Amino acid sequence: MQTAASLHDRQPRLPGSIRVLTCLLAILVAVGCQREPSPAETSVEPAAHADLVVLHGNVYTFSWGEPAPDGTPAGDAPVTQTGWHADAEAVAVTGGLITRVGSNAEIAALVGPETTVIDIKGATVLPGLVDTHTHIFNLGEALSRVNLYDVATEAEAVERIVAAARSIPKGEWIIGHGWDEGAWANRYPDMRLLTERVPEHPVYMRSLHSFAGWGNKLAFERAGITADTEAPVGGEIGRFPDGEPSGLLLNRAVPLLEQAIPKPDHTQLRAQALMALERMAQDGYVTIHDAGLDRAQMAVLEDLETAGQLPIRVYAMLSVRDESLSREWLARGPDKDPDGFLVTRAVKAYYDGALGSRGARLLEDYSDRPGHRGVSGDQYGFDQALAAELMTAGFQVGIHAIGDAGNREALDFIESVYRYAPDARANRNRIEHAQVLHPDDLPRFAELDVIASMEPPHAVEDKAWAEERLGADRVRGAYAWRSLRQAGARLTFNADNPGSDHSIFYGLHAAITRRDKAQEPVGGWYPAETMTAEEALRGYTTWSAFAGFRETQTGVLAPGRWADITLMDIDPLNAAAADPGTILDGNILMTIVNGRVVYPGERSKP
């Protein structure tokens, strides 16, 4: 047999923008079988050797029953009064599929001369993680742009742009990403300081969730945005008292500036996609759902799949805003190749804006802006007729809806389609974010078979200002994971990256504690909506598999399933009970996709 190095001796990853991965797979040596397995240890013929075996693990298969709506584990779950207990020790893989899960002795019996053996020394083994709402090209761009994710002030953001400008030729664009439009909503920046410090480069800084844009004078000149430019419906152009643009764009006005930035070509997009997909593999994900792909982005993904270069699986959600692409797929119908690394059977539509920038559509006025209720529907570019056609043709629709009015109207739209196209109910349609819900609409998710696709990080990131927008009563319907579960809804969890840190450890911690990375607030923010550790993990595994029509292929470690596996150095199920804050210290050790190790090494810490 062949053997791989133990995970016992781990070295920290090297710093830098391109980090060097520690190779876990050491020099392969032939060691042979030490003894014949007993009949009790295996039911597999001696010649049926595995391609890969993972031994000495803390394996949670998630093959037991679903927890109750209140989070109580199923009767057959491997949990007792003393805590959770792994229900297997080892996994065998052949031909990209799991062939056996069981004890070390059982799996060791499948080791042959050509088998690769990985001794993981007690690491936790889970079904491969799935992020069901991400933006891979934006992530790739963000990884190569000026990082503004943790900036607290306008001055700090400008200084980062100034530093970047030193190495960029004059006249070329500087792009930043990550300033928080929600946290800054009462002190939005303008172009004056930015223009003063960086006058000879057009500068564009996309906000955290992409619902606000900030630029300098030269960028606005390049885009042709002047005092005479009218804001599009559903958008807002910030202005100085004399009517000149201030440098800030909100909601549907953001594209006015973005369209002036030179579009990356196919080669550049390809590099962005690969960089982002490899980062997701590094962080333990075996599949991502890309929410809102246009023609150029789809061409890149199709190219990568044809070349066999997709490191992880991609579930494509076409952007309904790209009408010509959507209509081409409407004529073709949903993808019929569920086993492919690129599957296209879903579409993404936008119903309203973001809560932070006050674009989310509310049933009543914003608590901190009387007379304003946000924008939605046709005002926000929602093509109702095209979305309905796609649903009728069998495409799953994921509708971005944030506010309580936005969610109600999105549910109304889905229900209206079911009246004349009842088969569309089987599409497992989704509301992306489902962020603020009126109590009357909670049961409608189950009634309409609509999945709530939600982001645990959003709750702990938005808590600083969400109650200001919504008020003390309405905020109780925000990020309402437990309320949705108790109403019978299906959930799936994700990060909407690069809008939020997609670290599984951050996501799990946010879902389990409703606390941020600083462990605030004590006791959690509206803790009645917390998830159990099992539910949080299911949100990224079994529930996400269902959201992508793959519950019989992945989400569970069992014979016949895809060999898509994530290994980490903590046991989140037990860490949550002992000290949930320690979950944030977790590391991804290995990611296996289709039976192939696509990431060996430790996760980079920020």
Supply the pLDDT for residue 210.
83
pLDDT confidence of 25, banded at 50, 70, 90? very low
Pick the closest to residue 348 from 283, 298, 412 (CA basis): 298
Q: pLDDT digits over 107-146, tens only?
A: 999 999 999 999 999 999 999 999 999 999 999 988 878 8
Residue 266, CA distances (Å) to 37, 300, 307, 581 in order: 54, 7, 15, 42
Residue 58 burial by Cβ neighbours in a 10 Å radius (0-12, 13-18, 19+): buried
For helices 384-392 and 323-332, give the axis angle rounded to 10 degrees: 20
Structural domain contains residue 200: yes
3-state secondary structure 446-514: HHCCCEEEECHHHHHHHCCCHHHHHHHHHHHHECCHHHHHHCCCEEEECCCECCCCCCHHHHHHHHHHC
Q: Is residue 424 part of a domain?
A: no
Mean of the per-residue pLDDT values of the chain: 90
E strand intervals along 14-65: 52-55, 58-59
Confidence of residue 29 (pLDDT cuts 50, 70, 90): very low
Give the count of alpha carbons within 13 A of 538, CB side only. 22
Residue identified by tokens 């989400």 is: 555
15 pLDDT more than 50: no
CB 360 within 8 A of CB 403: yes
Question: How would you write 527-561 as a 3-class SS string?
Answer: HHHCCCHHHHHHHCCHHHHHHCCCCCCCCCCCCCC
Range of the domain at 236: 138-258
Whether 275 has a pLDDT exceeding 60, the answer reads yes
Closest CA to 209 of 352, 326, 345, 313: 352
What digits encode the pLDDT tens for the residues 223-252? 999 999 999 988 899 999 999 999 999 998
- Domain assignment present for residue 181? The answer is yes
Residue 159 lies in a domain: yes
Residues 360-419: tens digit of each pLDDT? 999 999 999 999 999 887 767 799 999 999 999 999 999 999 999 999 999 999 999 999
Kind of pairing, strands 58-59 and 97-102? Answer: unpaired
Query: How far apart, in whole angstroms, are the C-alpha atoms of residue 110 and residue 108?
Result: 5
Residues pairing with 410 in the sheet? none
What does the pLDDT read at residue 143? 84
Position 602 pLDDT exceeds 60:
no
Q: Is residue 248 part of a domain?
A: yes
Neighbours of 545 (CB within 10 A): 27
Q: What is the pLDDT of residue 167?
A: 85
Q: What does DSSP say about strands 313-319 and 285-293: parallel, antiparallel, or unpaired?
A: parallel
33/21 Cα distance (integer angstroms): 31
Answer whether residue 578 shows pLDDT above 60.
yes
What tokens appear for 508 in the block? 């799990």
> Taking phi first (over 0 means left), then psi (-120 to 50 degrees means alpha), and beta for anything else, what does residue 132 get?
alpha
Q: Which residue's structure tokens are 């109207």?
A: 409
- Encoded tokens for 511: 């879902």
Q: Across residues 25-38, what is the average pLDDT?
A: 31
Decide: helix, strand or coil at residue 130: strand
Closest among 197, 244, 243, 190 to 212, alpha carbons compared: 190
Segment 195-198 long-range contacts (CB within 8 Å, at least 24 positions apart): 195/247, 197/158, 197/159, 197/161, 197/162, 198/158, 198/161, 198/162, 198/165, 198/174
Using the predicted structure, report yes or no on whether residue 196 has a pLDDT greater than 50: yes
**How many structural domains are present in the chain?**
1
Cβ neighbors of 462 (< 8 A, separation 6 or more) are 182, 355, 356, 478, 479
End-to-end CA distance of the chain: 38
- More reliable by pLDDT, 76 or 142: 76
Q: Of 400, 413, 405, 399, nearest to 365 (Cα)?
A: 405
Residue 234 lies in a domain: yes
Q: Is the pLDDT of residue 14 over 50?
A: no
Measure the CA–CA gap between 226 and 244, rounded to whole angstroms.
6
Q: Alpha carbon of 528 to those of 416, 512, 583: distances in Å?
A: 33, 11, 20
pLDDT at residue 2, as a whole number = 53
CATH number where 219 lies: 3.10.310.70
CA separation for the pair 176, 146 (Å, rounded): 4
- Identify the pLDDT of residue 574: 98
Task: Calculate mean pLDDT across residues 494-515.
Answer: 96
Domain annotation covers residue 67 = no
pTM of the predicted structure, to 2 decimals: 0.83
CA distances from 416 to 81, 392, 419, 426, 449 (A): 48, 12, 5, 15, 14
pLDDT for 215 equals: 96
Residue 136 exposure: Cα atoms within 13 Å on the Cβ side: 35
Asked whether residue 30 carries a pLDDT value surpassing 80, the answer given is no
What pLDDT score was predicted for residue 337? 75
Higher pLDDT, 554 or 150: 554
Residue 376: per-residue pLDDT = 81
Q: Is residue 52 in a domain?
A: no
For the stretch 200-217, pLDDT in tens is: 999 999 998 888 999 999
Peptide linkage before 521 cis (omega within 30 of 0): yes
